[in-house]
Structure 1
Amino acid sequence: MFQLSYDHIDKSVIFTKVSIKKELEVTFSNLGASIFNISFSDNRSNLENILVAPPKDIWLNNKTFAGSIVGPLAGRYEVGKTTLERNRPPIHFHGGSNGWDKLIWKQSVTENNDSITISFCHSTSDYVASVIYSIDSGYNLIMEILVNPTAETYLNPTNHMYFNLNGSAFQPITNHLFQINSDLLFHEKNGLIQSTVPFPVPSQLNFQSLNDLSTLANFEGINHTYQLHNEQAGILRHPTNGRQITFTTTLPSVVIYTFNTTQETFASDHQLYPIYSGITFETQYPANQLERVTFGPKKPYHSKTTYNFSIIGGGK
Structure 2
Amino acid sequence: MSVFPARESFEQIIDGKQILLYILTNSKNTTKAAITNYGGRLIGFYVPDKNGQLIDILEGFDNLDQYTQGTDNYFGALIGRYGNRIAKAKFTLDGKKYQLNANNGPNNLHGGNKGFSRQVWDAKQTADNLLDLTYFSSDGEEGFPGNLNVKVTYEITDANELKINYRATTDKKTVINLTNHAYFNLNGQGSGTIVNHYLRLNADYYTPVDSTLIPQNSKHASVTNTPFDFRNLTKIGYLMELGQSTNNEQLLFGQGYDHNFVLNEGNSSATVIGDLSGIQMDIYTQEPGLQFYSGNFLDGSNRVKNGKTDNYQTSFCLETQHFPDSPNQPSFPSTTLDSGEVYKTSTIYKFSVQHE
Fold in common (TM above 0.5)? yes
Q: Given residue 103 of structure 1, which amino acid in structure 2 is its aligned partner?
A: Q
Distance 1:100 1:121 in 2: 11
SS of residue in 2 equivalent to 1:59: helix
Distance 1:241 1:89 in 2: 38
Matched, 1:72 2:81: yes
Q: Deviations over 1:291-315 (max 9, x none)?
A: 521111133211110000111239x
Shift of 1:22: 4.3
Segments ≥4 residues shifted beyond 4 Å: 5-8, 268-271
Structure 2 match to 1:118: 131
Native 8 Å contact 1:170 1:273 kept in 2: no
Q: Of 43, 46, 52, which aligns to 2:53?
A: 46
Shift of 1:133: 0.9
Q: Given residue 292 of structure 2, which amino acid in structure 1 is its aligned partner?
A: I
Shift of 1:289: 1.4
Shift of 1:171: 1.1
Shift of 1:272: 3.6
SS of residue in 2 equivalent to 1:205: coil
Matched, 1:16 2:22: yes
Distance 1:155 1:194 in 2: 21
SS of residue in 1 equivalent to 2:20: strand
Q: Of 86, 98, 102, which aligns to 1:82?
A: 98
Aligned positions of 1:97-176 closer than 5 A: 97-111=113-127, 116-125=129-138, 126-176=147-197
SS of residue in 2 equivalent to 1:247: strand
Structure 1 match to 2:348: 306
Q: Given residue 130 of structure 2, which amino acid in structure 1 is its aligned partner?
A: T
SS of residue in 2 equivalent to 1:183: strand
Q: Of 41, 44, 54, which aligns to 1:34?
A: 41
Shift of 1:156: 0.8
Structure 2 match to 1:179: 200
Task: Classify 1:305/1:312 alpha carbon distance in 2 versus 1 (closer, same or farther; 3 Å).
Answer: same
Structure 1 match to 2:299: 263
Length, aligned pairs only: 307
Q: Given residue 61 of structure 1, which amino acid in structure 2 is its aligned partner?
A: Q
Distance 2:230 2:73 in 1: 28
Structure 2 match to 1:296: 338
Task: Classify 1:265/1:107 alpha carbon distance in 2 versus 1 (closer, same or farther; 3 Å).
Answer: farther
Native 8 Å contact 1:186 1:195 kept in 2: no
Native 8 Å contact 2:50 2:355 kept in 1: yes
SS of residue in 1 equivalent to 2:98: coil
Show structure 1 runs of 5+ residues with no match: none
Native 8 Å contact 1:180 1:235 kept in 2: yes
More strand by share: 1
Q: Given residue 223 of structure 1, which amino acid in structure 2 is its aligned partner?
A: D
Q: Deviations over 1:197-216 (max 9, x none)?
A: 31101522111011112323
Structure 1 match to 2:250: none
Matched, 1:247 2:283: yes
More helix by share: 2
**TM-score with structure 1 length normalisation?**
0.89
